[in-house]
Amino acid sequence: MDNADRDAGKGRRWAFSRRSIFGIGALGLAVPTLTAAVTSNGTPARAAGATRKITIYAESLGNNQYGYGLERGKATIPGPILEMYEGDTLEITLVNTTDQRLSIHPHGVDYDTTSDGSPFNGSFNAPGETRTYTWRSHEMTAAAGRRFLPGSAGYWHYHDHAMGTDHGTAGVLRGLYGALIVRRRGDILPDKQFVAVLHDTTINNRIAPDTPIFEANLGQRVEWVAIGHGNLYHTFHLHSHRWADNRTGYLEGPSDPSASIDNKDLGPGSSFGFQVLAGDGGGPGAWMYHCHVQSHSDTGMSGVFLVRNADGSMPAGAQEAIDRFKGHRHIQSDHGGHTG
């Protein structure tokens, strides 16, 4: 969140930021983020336990693709990043503008059967139907034996659970998914946010060289959310950057035993996130992110993380590297490339 976003949020309970987080390939599709207002020192600018009501539109994007969006005509793949603090509640009014049965199902938060998003519980939107789903979150609680039950904080995700089959297989295949972040109060907020959904042999339903080119300036705090979908297992690797293998990607102190990693396994339905400083250790340049299963990267599961100079200018050699990336030959997979 940049200074303009922080200033715009002062004095209001909630701020809605629709700035572009990343471009999807050459299309430059804007993916909005929905985030809480904060004060100038990064703390929540509202009381604990706030309830927020939002509307999400499920739309056909053509080419047999579907997406979620915060405005009519603005659906994207992935859908908008949804954020909340532990203790908060989201009331999501899902407007199904399509001729398909669909829903929205979350991971990591609390909900009752009517907000499950599953046909098993009769929780879905019929074609053209509007329905409200309520997601709650909670903080860590004390348990017996000097133990604690975890709260909701984490890097989660949401997706359809009703299109095509009772498990939403067609909806997920066609792009109905997005990131859900639950923060602990006091967490550091990022300058940039990127979402990479590794789905069969695609990233965000695309194959290289049409995968997202994520951009940040040297030294900016970048938050990544990696999500797995489909039928295959993957690994997420980010060149020249490392993070702590814990909830946030940051060590909690000198005695934190979390390993420093640059590659992490990602199975269907799983997710994780982390923050890094762009170019920390390696400097500006065009850095690759990709699945490290070799047959997957060969078939197009790779993209570019462009770290610009601190002033936003293009670093030496970066454009040439991007041009070479766009010229890579990728082997067609039996699982397909673009899912349309």
- The closest alpha carbon to 195, from 179, 210, 208, belongs to 179
Tell me where in the chain the CATH 2.60.40.420 domain(s) lie. Answer: 3-183, 192-326
Provide the pLDDT for residue 4. 38
> Consecutive sets of 10 residues in the chain, 340 residues long: mean pLDDT of each?
38 33 31 46 53 97 97 98 97 98 98 96 97 96 88 97 96 98 96 97 96 98 98 97 96 95 96 98 96 94 98 98 89 48
What is the CATH architecture assignment of 192-326?
Answer: Sandwich (2.60)
CATH assignment of 3-183, given 1.25.40.10, 1.20.1440.230, 3.30.70.920, 2.60.40.420?
2.60.40.420
